Amino acid sequence: MVSGQANNAYVELNFRPNVQLVSVVRRFVSEFYQRTLSDPDGTSRVALATHELLENAVKYSKDGETTIRIEVVSETDPREISILLRNRAEATHISAIREIVDGVANAPDAFGYYQQLIARKARSKDGSGLGLARICAEGEMKVELRVLDGDVVELEATTHVGGSK
């Protein structure tokens, strides 16, 4: 987990996301990233990750309540960005998340794993199943899963992006 500094830029939202709100939040945090970072590609990567994590939260949340905290760690360039989502999920959903997170972590490279997953999911009609792997492969982010108190899920995506403004 990223350890925060007192002067770090961050935004934290506690809300009940629905499908319509996901794109609204992505646009809002994109503005935050654009105003904080001078790396358009990095901004795009973390905006993509934010969107996929939020859609994941909509899909898996037990009670709808979700907290998202986005922090720009300010010590050095390139900046470390942390996107942390916290919500409650059913055990079956936690297993599904864990399978993807472990799959990426244990693969020789995230992009190769993503390509295999794309091939596997091509004929599947049950959701995309690609979001978390996409964060790792296209977003070049590391994703960690933590389960607290049985059903509280923390998904944290971190990466480094070029310079700050």
Partner 1 sequence: MSELLSVKGDDFTGVAVQEGTKIVTSLKGNADYAAIDSVEKLLDKTHDEALRTTASEVVIDLRQLEFMNSSCFKCFVSWITEVQELPEAQQYKVRFQSNAQLHWQKRSLHSLRCFAVELITVDEE
**Interaction site with partner 1 (CB under 8 A):** 19-20, 22-23, 26, 40-41, 43-45, 47-48, 51-52, 55, 58, 111, 114-115, 118-119, 121-123, 127-131, 134, 137-139
Shortest CB 19 distance to partner 1, Å? 5
The 10 Å Cβ neighbour count of residue 64 is 13
Shortest CB 138 distance to partner 1, Å? 4
Q: In what order do the strands lie in the sheet with 61-73?
A: 9-15, 61-73, 79-89, 152-161, 142-148
Q: State the SS3 of the chain.
A: CCCCCCCCEEEEEEECCCHHHHHHHHHHHHHHHHHHECCHHHHHHHHHHHHHHHHHHHHHEEEEEEEEEEEEECCCCCEEEEEEEEEEECHHHHHHHHHHHHHHHHCCCHHHHHHHHHHHHCCCCCCCCCHHHHHHHCCCCEEEEEEECCCEEEEEEEEEECCEC
Shortest CB 103 distance to partner 1, Å? 15
CB closer to partner 1, 45 vs 79: 45
CB closer to partner 1, 41 vs 149: 41
CB closer to partner 1, 50 vs 158: 50
CB closer to partner 1, 52 vs 71: 52
Shortest CB 30 distance to partner 1, Å? 9
In which residue are the tokens 């959903």 written? 93
CB closer to partner 1, 95 vs 127: 127
Shortest CB 31 distance to partner 1, Å? 13
